[in-house]
Copies of this chain bind each other. A is one copy, B any other.
Amino acid sequence: MKTYKRWLQNANLKVTPARLNILYTLDHANGFLTAEDIYNELKPTIEHLSLSTIYRSLEQLEKVHLIESVSLENKKEAQYELAHSKHAHHLICLTCGKVIHIHDCPIHDFAKAVSSQHHFKVTSHTLDLYGYCEACQT
């Protein structure tokens, strides 16, 4: 927990059990978690934990860029992951919902071109590829 405590302090956020546990949970998850995933994970070990605390914590953590959220097409809930995880794009299986992270990114030059063309200052982007994973192609 040492590390997470320092993360929070560096971000000028109070160190609370909820936040420490959320960071821990996200850090040890492989892939994305929803607010409810986190809640279910922590509920058994933290008494009187409230879902709204999860939401409010996630909001704070995102605001200081400790975590990031994405919302994938045709999924209504937001998904969260640690922000220091590498910039990633996604392969999303339309059948089973499996999400594969891709760390290649072909966007940089494109963003630069589009920026100057439209006088638009691009600060971030999302790129998600949809289709069928190996197992679901049968």
Contacts and interface: CB of A to CB of B under 8 A. Distances in A.
Interface of A: 70-71, 73, 91, 93-94, 100, 102, 104, 106-107, 109-111, 113-115, 118-134, 137
Nearest to A120: B91
A127 B127 contact: yes
A134 B107 contact: no
Contacts of A94: 123
A137 B71 CA distance: 26
Contact of A107 (B109, B119, B127, B131): B127
A138 to B, nearest CB: 11
From A115, A130, A137, residue with most partner B Cβ within 10 Å: A130
